[in-house]
Amino acid sequence: MSLSLEDLSRKMKDIDFAMLATRAKGGAIGSRPMSNNREVDYDGTAWFFTDETAFMVSDMEADSAVNLSYQGKSGLLGHRPFFVAVEGRAALIRDRTQFEAHWTKGLERWWPQGIQTPGLVLIQVIGERAHYWDGEKEGEILLEGIK
């Protein structure tokens, strides 16, 4: 039985970090951890904040293709492992109205000035396809056109 986007969202709610991969200059792949703070319902679009000077910003300006990798329960102590790989396109947003819409209190740890932080950038990753592994089951959800 395949997972629906709602099922996928429910399972992803327990995952705090994703690895965001971009294509860097020369074709290398760069990955870094990004937090979704367990406070979002995944609807095919993911949102992350970063600093204008981060390498990933110039990577995304050159090539918007990205990948998000998530790992859920570890398989230890009787838990089934759960993995998700989302292929998508990134957009860089510098609009403070959008910052407000996606800001959560925990982000002040990295940006004490909040949405007024100079050089703050919001990354929107619009998923195109999510491939998941839930224990021994695997499947794919096409995310394009879901909204």
Residues 10-62: tens digit of each pLDDT: 888 888 899 999 999 888 999 999 987 666 688 999 999 999 999 999 999 99
Q: Domain of 127?
A: 5-142
**pLDDT of amino acid 14:** 80
Q: How many domains does the chain have?
A: 1
| 75 falls within a domain | yes
- CATH number, domain of 26, equals 2.30.110.10
| Strand partners for 123 | 48, 92
**Helices marked H in 1-147 — which ranges?**
5-12, 55-62, 96-102
pTM here? 0.89
CB 38 within 8 A of CB 15: yes
